[in-house]
Structure 1
Amino acid sequence: MQRSALSLTDFTMPRFLPEPSYKHDQPPRIGVLLVNLGTPAAPTAAALKPYLREFLSDPRVVEIPRLLWQPILRGIILNTRPKKSALKYASIWGKEGSPLQMWTAKQGSLLKGYLGEQLQAPLVVNYAMRYGQPSVASRLDEMKAAGCDRILVVPLYPQYAASSTASVGDAVFAQLRRYRNQPAVRTVHHFHDDPGYIAALAQSVREYWQMNGRGQHLLMSFHGIPRRSLDLGDPYHCHCLKTGRLLAEALGLSADQYTVAFQSRFGRAEWLKPYTSDVLSTLPRKNVRELDVICPGFVADCLETLEEIAMEGKQTFLSAGGTGFRYIPCMNDRPAWIHALAGLVTRELSGWLTPGWQAETALAEARESQQRARARGHQN
């Protein structure tokens, strides 16, 4: 027998993951997946190297042609930066491990409890990390195995950026390509101006002021991105400015009582300005001696807030002549934030959740469907 010629499709078709045969009695469930940036497994150079390799190999994060970037990444950066980064992570590492992972896990657990009480629906709520573990792919596999035929993905980035939010979407849809029977998927684009999010931020600031006193000025520091991203259509800069304005209005601040700035610059290219480090250095020369700092773009404390701002930023400000520096923690597991997150998720689930659709109802409907199928001669 003559063998047919191989086509291009034979080399480009994805390798599908094995799945059980379809069954009519599988009760439908809805999954809610919170996704944050990620963290190394330990504050060591050995753990930082694979984490940084994954993070800095993402073309959403570093928009340099791969043939140019990979030799720099593998030949220079991954041989020098892991040790330096490990020291920074070690300075914030707690008994429960990575602060980012600890807080994100708690947010997922609290959200699950809140939604379970409020909605009485068959929900599967969990969290994943875009880089590191638990991975987006593994969590999607778990949700699919649990019977989720609809999944809401919530990137925990209030302000949309291609390097963060879109990268989560890339990971989600890359895994969907491996499924034969794909679940329906929705993704949250942004929530930078969500009333619940703004109210939770404002409440955290007011309560901090009540307990610790209030400085002369409030600095709102957001993670930076290259200036080129704004020119190419990324809405991140505008989202940050709007969050800053809405938070200032909620706190009753005038334009001269707060500043929006951008931190975490990497490389030599121009990034969004003003740079947080420059603002911290110049404010004392403008007679601002007592400063409060909040990072509204982070919903959970992490390296960028606890080490870069609360430690390095404090040193920069005090060295420039400041006398008081107070970092206001992220919302973490604050009830107002969990309530706001639940409200956001509930709105995004609109149309998927119907009145009276509880776990028992879904199971009864699935069993009835199976009985009808068997009556027609189908075994599944």
Structure 2
Amino acid sequence: MRRKRYAVVVVTYGEVEKLTLRNLWPSSRRILKVITSQIVKVPRFLVYLIADYRSIKHFINWRLSGYRSSLQAINRRQTAQLRQSLSTQAPELPEDVDIDVLDAYYFVPPYLEDMLAGLKREYDGIVVVPMIPVESAFSCGVACRMVEDAYGDTRYGKVRLMNRFWSDDALHRIYVDHLFSKLEGSSFMESRKKLGLVLVIHGTLVRDRAGNPPKVFTGLDETGRFFEMMKRRIMEDPRNVFTDIRQGCMNHTAGGEWTSETVEKALEEFRREGCRGVVMFPYGFFADNSETEYQARELLESAGFPLSRYVPCINDSPAFAGWLAGKVLRELNQLSSIQKAYESLEPKP
């Protein structure tokens, strides 16, 4: 009997690693075509003009600040950890199946949509792992559209697309342990002053430019529920030192009204309430990127609190890697079971 081949694809947005305009231009254009076009109809000629403007702006800002994105390097490490974790769980993997674990990206090579064409030819099934906790048309929805374009109706028996990470209680526990482990031994844990915590997440569209609910799935409700779950768990933890916790959304400006609970608003409210220190933790991202370790962190540092601390994303935490491997393992076994069910319905020769 022929052994099957499955691919696990760990996918995220992707940001340029080598800072050049030549690298930034195609990335900016893909962002406009894949994400922005869902909420604003951008004429083709404007795509190039806007993308060129964004590229030049990022190039100047990143060059002057010395910033270099770590997103892809982190995603590669997460992919390697997942590969290693799955290899140690061989007895629990589907029988007669070889597993490859690969990384892919929406906006930089290797592009997910290009990779899917090859995977369809060479593999019997794939599990797509979007590396962001809250699903929406702008996150794992991008992968969903690419899978649908590549596989069509065959996707139901060939592809598993993971989602709803935000609702997993085990992930919440890992997040809380990660947060307090990064603060252990710091002045925050000893302080008796009023302290605030900003949980940073990508914002989303609330109303379009006509004042109507967006026509695409934005994940707005899921974003709010995720925050409430995390806030409650942190506040109830015996290690908690925070007086209050606020959502801090990183918004775009195109398309209409975005989430109002911004990072800037959270910091200003903590200032008005007399907080002496603020911690920032980007819980809405699995890996640090320019929105977290550059933009959000800069907002925190410029706020001028006597005490401030940026806690990195979960990144390549071993606990997170083990949790993710368990989730992927279940998806691989479900994919195998689905395919066996389909095969049992095929006419016998």
TM-score by length of 2: 0.82
The residue aligned with 1:220 is 199
Q: Which has the larger radius of gyration?
A: 1
Are the aligned partners of 2:147 and 2:155 in contact in 1 as well (CA < 8 Å)?
no
1:80 to 42, 53, 67: 53
Q: Partner amino acid for 1:271?
A: W
Stretches of 4+ moved more than 6 A in 1?
A: 179-183
2:108 to 132, 147, 152: 132
Cα–Cα, structure 1 residues 41 and 183, in superposed 2: closer, same or farther, change >3 Å? farther
1:167 aligns with 2:150: no
Cα–Cα, structure 1 residues 144 and 212, in superposed 2: closer, same or farther, change >3 Å? farther
Are the aligned partners of 1:92 and 1:303 in contact in 2 as well (CA < 8 Å)?
no
2:71 to 100, 119, 122: 100
Cα–Cα, structure 1 residues 182 and 270, in superposed 2: closer, same or farther, change >3 Å? closer
Report percent identity of matched pairs.
21
Shift in Å, 1:181: 11
TM-score by length of 1: 0.76
User: Structure 1: how far apart are the matches of 2:200 and 2:155?
Assistant: 43
Q: Secondary structure at the match of 2:103?
A: strand
Q: Within 5 Å, which residues of 2 pair with 1:203-214?
A: 203-214=177-188
Are the aligned partners of 2:160 and 2:335 in contact in 1 as well (CA < 8 Å)?
no
Q: Gapped runs of 5+ residues in structure 1?
A: 1-24, 358-375
User: Structure 1: how far apart are the matches of 2:330 and 2:154?
Assistant: 29
The residue aligned with 2:14 is 38
Shift in Å, 1:119: 3.1
The residue aligned with 1:272 is 259
Q: Tell me the C-alpha RMSD between the 2 structures.
A: 3.0
Shift in Å, 1:195: 1.9
User: Structure 2: how far apart are the matches of 1:181 and 1:201?
Assistant: 32
1:349 aligns with 2:322: no
Q: Partner amino acid for 2:56?
A: K
1:191 aligns with 2:165: yes
User: Structure 1: how far apart are the matches of 2:284 and 2:16?
Assistant: 21
1:149 to 111, 114, 124: 124
Are the aligned partners of 1:92 and 1:99 in contact in 2 as well (CA < 8 Å)?
no
Are the aligned partners of 2:264 and 2:299 in contact in 1 as well (CA < 8 Å)?
no
CA deviation map 1:37-93 (0-9, x unaligned): 1212522223211110111112565422243xx343323x23322121124444465
1:300 to 287, 310, 317: 287
CA deviation map 1:174-226 (0-9, x unaligned): 2335x999970111132111122212111111101214342711111111122
The residue aligned with 1:246 is 229
The residue aligned with 1:20 is none
Are the aligned partners of 1:88 and 1:303 in contact in 2 as well (CA < 8 Å)?
no
